[in-house]
Structure 1
Amino acid sequence: MTSVLSIDEQPLPAWQGRCDSALGWLIEIPSAIAVLAEVVILLVGIIARFVFNHPLVWSDEIASILFLWLAMLGSAVALRRGHHMRMTVLAARMPGRWKAFAEVLAIGAPCVFLVIMLGPSINYASDQWIVQTPVLGLHDTVRAAAVPVGAALMLAICAVRLMRHRARELLLGFGALALIALALYGARDLLANMGNWNLVIFFGLLLGGGVLVGLPIAFCFGLCTVACLLTTTTTPLAVITGQMNEGMSSLVLLAVPLFILLGQLIEMTQMAKAMVAFLASLLGHVKGGLSYVLIGAMLLVSGISGAKTADMAAVAPVLFPEMKRRGIPEGELVSLLAACGAMAETIPPSLVLIIIGSVTGVSIAALFKGGLLPGIVLALALAVIARRRTGDAAAEVPRASLNTVLRTLVVALPALVLPVLIRYAVAEGVATATEVSTIGIAYTVVIGLLVYRQFDWRRIYPMLVETASLSGAILLIIGAATAMAWALTQASFSQTLADAMARMPGGAYGFLFISVIAFVVLGSVLEGIPAMVLFGSLLFPIARQAGINEVHYAITVILAMGIGLFTPPFGLGYYAACTIGRVDPNAGLRRIWPYLGALAAGLAVVVAVPWISTGFL
């Protein structure tokens, strides 16, 4: 979940407001162009390869260069818009002065990290001059320069945002950061002599404290990693830049912005609305019918957008008004919506599936095949609970006529083809998980223009910028978590973790059990993507040694993480569902637990029966 705390800020003078606007244009226009260029390049590459049988050997190089620029410029857009993932549950409940202090920390910590990393990132980019791309012969500095340029732009954004705060707030915020730095510097000999126990200080106390007070998770990862290396090792900080670069540069991750854009397009073209209308005509009259429609719509839309926030935003506004009219309490609605978000985490093409595949080396096509049936198992478990809790809402609702059902089916048919098209293209090798998103985008544009005639050209630029912003927030977390995972690996943390988990009783099922518990906790604290990036590469080798199928293990931990992500009071996904549904979070705090219990029962079935995840591989 991303959010911006509402605090008592001083208004910007006119000249500072103009600087902020100029910065916005400076980063948003190139970001939008980069997103559009990636779509065009990949789509042209697919057409050249499959239609004309003439692959474009240069397309991957151009896409790779643009991708890192998109990640860094998008991170800058996200910082300016307050879209970086942060846990604001505790900070939002603070009194006014403490809330302002927390907000200064949330800006000041990224500022400190960027200042520290700007020099090493410049050195890293200049060192890449000797590396040339194999086809076009371009110096890799052209690509690597995105990191220092993005860092400089984010520093400028931090400076503008800090101008909104009073001098006393700034003094308190940066004073607290300085005290922490001095304490770590003074204790550097003690920390170095602690061995791996110092990891508890850096990646337990400091990281946990930073997340809880509302620091952006990506910068919290980066700052704790920098603190660890500076105080306990002599490792040059350029290594962190290299690791972040490596983490953000995998072309598999290009699917992230493209599926985010696809999710926005299906909402704009009203394809999601058409699917929901068909399901409502089919099931709206039965006991718990609209709850079934909500569950089914989340299954269908998840197969298109790949992003849980986009799924909920596409479905909730269409269904909630009618469900409220039928007397279903809004707390029940948001509880079911949040549970559906957790349920749909493995429905392809989930971004988490793509990211865990890129981090661990597990086949993304296999994950796409293995994720569908477990999602259906959890959907059935939710349907049982939803029927009991919302079944009376269908009283006196007439059954839709056959003509109505057929008419809504015809209208929805072009939309219903899209998830089938996406899964078929990946399963049959027509396109990779990255390329298939461009096929979906092209299909959605054509259907929106020619069939639904719902295509607002004025919304394209804002959608491109929003795509860059959300993508930058996700990709920066992946980069920072990659550097953090490297630091943990160098400290032999992975081996220590492997030894501890290998001693768990119960063999493979004991390891699965402790993994489920761990990822429920991680999902509620760290959010899904950073948890997967940080711990996926550490735990998957252990699972393989225990004889657990890697697809089965991936599906298990993703579902566990999803349950944690949507579990209050810490699960950020729950608050995202409340925001989208415009429901007070307190309304669902007591009502969500039966749904979470159903998800836990469904997960237990998936864990106990590996065939559910691996039967179609």
Structure 2
Amino acid sequence: MSAMTLQDAVAGTPHVAADTGWLGRACSGIEHICAAVLALNVGVIFVSVILRYFLHSPVDWAEEVARALMVVLVFLGGATVLLKGEHVGIDLFRKLLPQSAQAVARHVGAWVVAGTAAALFYSSVELLQDSVNVTTPIGLPQWLNVLPVCIGSALMIVAAVVQAMRGDRATRWPSLALCVALGLAAWAWNSFSPEGLHARPWMLLTACFFGTLIAGVPIAFVLAASALIYFIAEPSLPMVIYSQQVMAGMDHFVLLAVPFFVLAGLLMEANGMSSRLIELLVRMFGRMRGSMNVISIVATAFFSGVSGSKLADIAAVSGIIVPAVRRTKQDPNETAAVLAASAVMAETIPPCVNLIIMGFVANISIGGLFIAGIVPAVAMAVGLCAMAIIVGRKVDPLLAFPLRKPMIPLLGGALVALVMVTMIGKGVTSGVATSTEVSAFAVVYALVVGGLAFRELTPRGVVRLFVKSASMAASIMFIVAAASSLAFVLTIEQLPVLVSEFMTNLAAHYGKVSFILASVLLMTVFGAILEGAPALIIFGPLLTPIAQQVGVHPLHFGVVMVVAMGLGLFSPPFGLGLFATCSMTGTRIENVMRPMMKYLVLLAVMLLGLIFIPEVSLWLPRVTDML
């Protein structure tokens, strides 16, 4: 799998960790600590499952220890991801600025990140002091949970300052002066202007949100900085609550499934399961019309049932299928469009990370969402395959893989992978184990069974996979943590009440379908601008209760929201996922947009069908008694 993350693909940020100096060595050391923490967490959950289900001797410390290790992973890992420039962000808005302003905006963004990290450090130190005499339910000192936040935020300050000191010296200090001047101007205006003319905290929050987004600040720090501005502007809020809310965003057992499923997907690809499966599909269906693109759709759907991460799926499939496409003299732009569209389809294939996040923030059954998403995904996959066949052409499959593996190993690889997918699906939907426990089993299965079956993993390779998984998980989960602080602020501003009143009135006057359509439009737009997870975290808990009030089933609404978010994420011209797909496939977005449009129109039509026919998502949960 490509080591490229979304931030690399969108902004092309260089990897600082490749430096040979002390900073690069320190970053590498912290990455390996995070990898060890991730491995230990897998071991804790796996052992607790064995003790509970097989030896009937449950332990009461496993969940709390796992959550504490998660805090270490997110905040230490978040610092290394920042140092390497891999946090999810978008450069598109910054590139619309005049050339002379782009360098200033880049440095302003780095100083904003440094200031936000400094505020988080200050708040976490206060929280650490308040936690000295507090113990957890199992008797551990509470300050142990807060300490990683202090250390991680201090490392983030260093990483942000390092980023700010790079580049053009002529804009380095003027950009810092600009940040300070803007802060002083806001303070002076509210201090000396008539009270009726004061800038309200929500106004400053909004200005910070759009300003940092335009400057290209990573999405996690756009959310964290916006919440921070509100805390500073609202004197009734003590700063200690800021770090509390950031911690609260990811301190949940169910979210451990995110790094575990990402790791399982990486292990599956490194084991050779993915390459064997794709080659098998080419050997079986390579001579049909549009075969390579159909195989891309099927392979993306298959891997989505393991990794949970859409970008991981695209990286795994594109790394194998795109070279084969070029060898068969097909258009790689068409394949890139198919992969992006397939990622939208795969948003509802369990164990999708965004389904887990939606279920968590909106208090919807994750197992129910997994079941509800299967039929819509199958329907979209069939539609995409039909389109690929209609517009495709026949190729010679012998050109796709010059070196052909024997058929028996190919079948064996597919069988091992199929057992893994079946184990994940059956474990979650049967209620025998939680998604977190199943994901830990998936990691152990991919590591042990896959390693023994194919013998392509080396100890050094395993370490690299754990390091990569820890970085990817930290990047995702730090967004969740930062979005929690913003959601807290929006609650104080009674935004949920305002949205609830507006959307309830909309449903009362125009029906519940109009409510769903408005929600879809909102999620599509913000899914493109904010990236998937933050949009779900902010709007999921706001809109889901309203949906239930107006008679929309939460499973149906959750699936619709996730699909709409995916449609925005992979839609031109702002969709971050489409930028990442083009980078991974070696194509340009302006060349992919035209072939992409027919697939987007098809997906939009199928989304409308999903909205107007709720049984598409509710039939299988009803049959399996998940309603």
Partner residue of 1:32? 35
- Unaligned stretches of 5+ residues in structure 2: 1-5, 622-627
- Residues of 2 paired with 1:533 and 1:261: CA distance? 23
Partner residue of 1:315? 317
The CA deviation string for residues 319-368 of structure 1, in whole angstroms up to 9 with x for no partner, is 12222333321211111111111111111000001111111111111111
Greater mean deviation of Cα atoms: 108-117 or 319-328: 319-328
Map 1:137-536; keep pairs closer than 5 Å.
137-188=139-190, 193=196, 199=202, 201-203=204-206, 205-390=207-392, 392-394=393-395, 408-504=410-506, 505-536=509-540
Secondary structure at the aligned position of 1:316 is classed as helix
- Residues of 2 paired with 1:437 and 1:35: CA distance? 13
Secondary structure at the aligned position of 2:454 is classed as coil
- Structure 1 residues 158 and 560, CA gap change in structure 2 (3 angstroms): same
> What is the deviation of 1:200?
5.0
Q: Any conservation in 2 of the 1:252–1:434 contact (CA below 8 Å)?
A: yes
Greater mean deviation of Cα atoms: 114-123 or 481-490: 114-123
Secondary structure at the aligned position of 2:456 is classed as coil
What letter matches 1:102 in structure 2? A
In angstroms, what is the RMSD of aligned CA positions? Answer: 2.7
Q: Of residues 44, 48, 53 in structure 1, which corresponds to 2:47?
A: 44
Q: Any conservation in 2 of the 1:196–1:493 contact (CA below 8 Å)?
A: no
> What is the deviation of 1:309?
0.9
> What is the deviation of 1:166?
4.5
> What is the deviation of 1:138?
0.6
Q: Any conservation in 2 of the 1:104–1:169 contact (CA below 8 Å)?
A: yes
- Residues of 1 paired with 2:23 and 2:361: CA distance? 36
Partner residue of 1:559? 563
What letter matches 1:40 in structure 2? G
Secondary structure at the aligned position of 1:35 is classed as helix
Say whether 1:588 aligns with 2:589: no
What letter matches 1:68 in structure 2? V
> What is the deviation of 1:602?
1.2
> What is the deviation of 1:526?
0.3
- Residues of 2 paired with 1:495 and 1:96: CA distance? 42
- Residues of 2 paired with 1:6 and 1:63: CA distance? 34
Q: Any conservation in 2 of the 1:381–1:601 contact (CA below 8 Å)?
A: no
> What is the deviation of 1:257?
1.2
Aligned length: 608
- Residues of 2 paired with 1:171 and 1:258: CA distance? 42
- Structure 1 residues 467 and 545, CA gap change in structure 2 (3 angstroms): same
- Structure 1 residues 23 and 97, CA gap change in structure 2 (3 angstroms): farther
What letter matches 2:320 in structure 1? V
Q: Any conservation in 2 of the 1:285–1:399 contact (CA below 8 Å)?
A: no
Greater mean deviation of Cα atoms: 153-162 or 413-422: 153-162
Q: Of residues 2, 7, 14 in structure 2, which corresponds to 1:2?
A: 7
- Structure 1 residues 195 and 342, CA gap change in structure 2 (3 angstroms): farther
Q: Any conservation in 1 of the 2:354–2:532 contact (CA below 8 Å)?
A: yes
Q: Any conservation in 1 of the 2:282–2:397 contact (CA below 8 Å)?
A: no
Q: Of residues 72, 76, 86 in structure 2, which corresponds to 1:73?
A: 76
- Residues of 1 paired with 2:63 and 2:132: CA distance? 19
Secondary structure at the aligned position of 1:315 is classed as helix
Say whether 1:132 aligns with 2:117: no
Q: Any conservation in 1 of the 2:375–2:620 contact (CA below 8 Å)?
A: no
Say whether 1:106 aligns with 2:109: yes
Q: Any conservation in 2 of the 1:7–1:96 contact (CA below 8 Å)?
A: no
- Residues of 2 paired with 1:84 and 1:199: CA distance? 26
Greater mean deviation of Cα atoms: 67-76 or 189-198: 189-198
Map 1:601-616; keep pairs closer than 5 Å.
601-616=605-620
The CA deviation string for residues 9-42 of structure 1, in whole angstroms up to 9 with x for no partner, is 9x99xxx963313431442232111111101111
- Residues of 2 paired with 1:217 and 1:186: CA distance? 28
- Residues of 2 paired with 1:200 and 1:605: CA distance? 39
Q: Any conservation in 1 of the 2:380–2:606 contact (CA below 8 Å)?
A: yes
- Structure 1 residues 399 and 218, CA gap change in structure 2 (3 angstroms): closer
- Structure 1 residues 8 and 472, CA gap change in structure 2 (3 angstroms): closer
- Residues of 2 paired with 1:62 and 1:348: CA distance? 26
User: Percent identical across equivalent pairs?
Assistant: 30
Q: Any conservation in 2 of the 1:20–1:160 contact (CA below 8 Å)?
A: no
- Residues of 2 paired with 1:558 and 1:125: CA distance? 37
Partner residue of 1:574? 578
Partner residue of 2:625? none
- Structure 1 residues 493 and 93, CA gap change in structure 2 (3 angstroms): closer
> What is the deviation of 1:233?
4.0
> What is the deviation of 1:196?
11
- Residues of 1 paired with 2:462 and 2:141: CA distance? 33
Q: Any conservation in 1 of the 2:299–2:317 contact (CA below 8 Å)?
A: yes
Partner residue of 1:543? 547
> What is the deviation of 1:154?
1.1
Partner residue of 2:3? none
The CA deviation string for residues 53-96 of structure 1, in whole angstroms up to 9 with x for no partner, is 11122111211111111110110111111111111124357676
> What is the deviation of 1:512?
0.5
Partner residue of 2:624? none
Q: Any conservation in 2 of the 1:560–1:603 contact (CA below 8 Å)?
A: yes
- Structure 1 residues 191 and 116, CA gap change in structure 2 (3 angstroms): farther
Q: Any conservation in 2 of the 1:552–1:613 contact (CA below 8 Å)?
A: yes
The CA deviation string for residues 191-216 of structure 1, in whole angstroms up to 9 with x for no partner, is 9858998635523x431231122101
Q: Any conservation in 1 of the 2:208–2:229 contact (CA below 8 Å)?
A: no
The CA deviation string for residues 214-240 of structure 1, in whole angstroms up to 9 with x for no partner, is 101111111111212322442112111
> What is the deviation of 1:315?
0.8
Secondary structure at the aligned position of 1:57 is classed as coil
> What is the deviation of 1:107?
1.6
Greater mean deviation of Cα atoms: 54-63 or 561-570: 54-63
Q: Any conservation in 2 of the 1:326–1:393 contact (CA below 8 Å)?
A: no
- Unaligned stretches of 5+ residues in structure 1: none
- Residues of 2 paired with 1:244 and 1:112: CA distance? 16
- Structure 1 residues 262 and 550, CA gap change in structure 2 (3 angstroms): same
- Structure 1 residues 192 and 534, CA gap change in structure 2 (3 angstroms): farther
What letter matches 2:599 in structure 1? Y
- Residues of 2 paired with 1:82 and 1:607: CA distance? 39
